[in-house]
């Protein structure tokens, strides 16, 4: 079955360490997105990529980095510069960037930094 | 600026009650899309509906219905005869200029047996 796989489901790190969250999709979608969810805050856009080898900052990109070397993969690195990294991270994809297709979401990774 | 407001943070109902989740949006675009997503306790977001700003007809899908009122910039979601399985956080969203979604803060719905 096609879908979006995020791994791991739970991730624990010490403060000051970089950590990379995985996002893989086999839907052949061009566009991919990373959102951050905090309690009572809804989802906020971190980065998005409309096509391979291209990505753009979202609303809260500071302290994060991404790469898009393959169509299927859009890993997110949470760097030590991110002041409040503990959150639930959701990856999404769509056929193209635009309203022709809704976003499909992965199951999320819950990151805890202590 | 584009913005989505879900004023109800939490709603609790008893099974079989009808419940309406409110969504108010702001946009300067003349053409736009609105969405509703459901987030069960497992965490993934499940797509429920997409609505084009040109189409103001209400939509019904089983126990779910949506009321789009362009005049009041609202896109409300009603669940009829609620069930325990409807317990989740529901998000209303507006499509942004880059194809991303701008989400409201969500409404947590608890349906008690």
pLDDT digits (tens, 9 = 90+) for B28-69: 988 899 999 999 988 889 999 999 888 888 888 899 999 999
pLDDT class of A1 with cuts at 50, 70, 90: low
3-state secondary structure A30-91: CEEEEEEEECCCEEEEEEEEEECCEEEECCCCCCEEECCCECCECCEEECCCCCCCCEEEEE
Residue A92, both tokens: 């999404």
Q: Per the CB < 8 Å rule, is A58 touching B100?
A: yes
Highest mean pLDDT: which range of A1-10, A58-67, B37-46: A58-67
pLDDT tens sequence across A94-103 = 987 765 678 8
B111 token code pair = 């349906």
pLDDT given for residue B81 in this prediction: 97
pLDDT digits (tens, 9 = 90+) for A66-78: 999 999 999 999 9
Residue B108's pLDDT is 96
Spatial contact of B1 and B25, defined as CB atoms under 8 Å apart: no
Distance of residue B109 Cα from the nearest chain A Cα, in angstroms: 13
Closest to B104 (Cβ–Cβ): which among A42, A99, A108?
Answer: A42
Give the span between the Cα atoms of B110 and B60, in whole angstroms.
Answer: 22
Per the model's pLDDT, the better-predicted residue between B13 and A83 turns out to be B13
Q: What is the pLDDT of residue A98?
A: 67
From chain A residues 45-64, the ones with a CB under 8 A of any chain B CB are 45, 48, 50, 56, 58
How far is residue B113's CA from residue B107's CA, in Å, rounded to a whole number? 19
Q: B113 CA to chain A: closest CA distance, Å?
A: 25
pLDDT digits (tens, 9 = 90+) for A17-56: 999 999 999 999 999 999 999 987 889 999 999 999 999 9
Would the CB atoms of B100 and A102 count as touching at under 8 Å? no
- Are B83 and B30 spatial neighbours (Cβ–Cβ below 8 Å)? no
Q: Exposed e or buried b for every residue in A34-56, given b needs 16+ CB within 10 A? A: bbbbeeeebbbbbbbbbeeeebe
- Do the Cβ atoms of A32 and A105 come closer than 8 Å? no
> Cβ atoms within 10 A of the Cβ of B19, count?
20
The rounded Cα B111 to chain-centroid distance in angstroms is: 17
Report the distance separating Cα A70 and Cα A28, nearest Å: 11
């Amino acid at each position: 079955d096609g879908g979006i796989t995020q791994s791991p489901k739970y991730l624990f790190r010490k403060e000051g360490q970089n950590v990379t969250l995985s996002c893989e999709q086999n839907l052949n979608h061009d566009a991919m997105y990373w959102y951050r969810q905090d309690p009572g805050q809804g989802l906020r856009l971190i980065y998005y990529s409309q096509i391979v080898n291209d990505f753009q900052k979202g609303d809260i990109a500071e302290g994060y980095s991404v790469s898009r070397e393959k169509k299927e993969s859009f890993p997110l690195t949470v760097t030590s510069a991110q002041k409040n990294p503990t959150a639930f991270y959701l990856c999404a994809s769509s056929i193209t960037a635009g309203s022709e297709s809704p976003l499909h979401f992965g199951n999320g990774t819950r990151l805890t930094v202590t | 600026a584009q913005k989505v407001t879900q004023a109800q943070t939490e709603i609790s109902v008893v099974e079989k009650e009808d419940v309406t989740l409110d969504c108010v949006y702001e946009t300067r675009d003349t053409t736009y899309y609105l969405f509703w997503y459901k987030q069960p306790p497992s965490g993934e977001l499940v797509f429920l509906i997409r609505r084009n700003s040109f189409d103001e007809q209400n939509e019904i899908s089983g126990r779910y219905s949506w009321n789009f009122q362009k005049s009041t910039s609202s896109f409300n979601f009603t669940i009829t005869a609620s069930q325990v399985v409807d317990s989740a956080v529901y998000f209303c969203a507006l499509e942004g200029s880059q194809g991303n979604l701008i989400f409201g803060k969500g409404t947590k719905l608890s349906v008690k047996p």
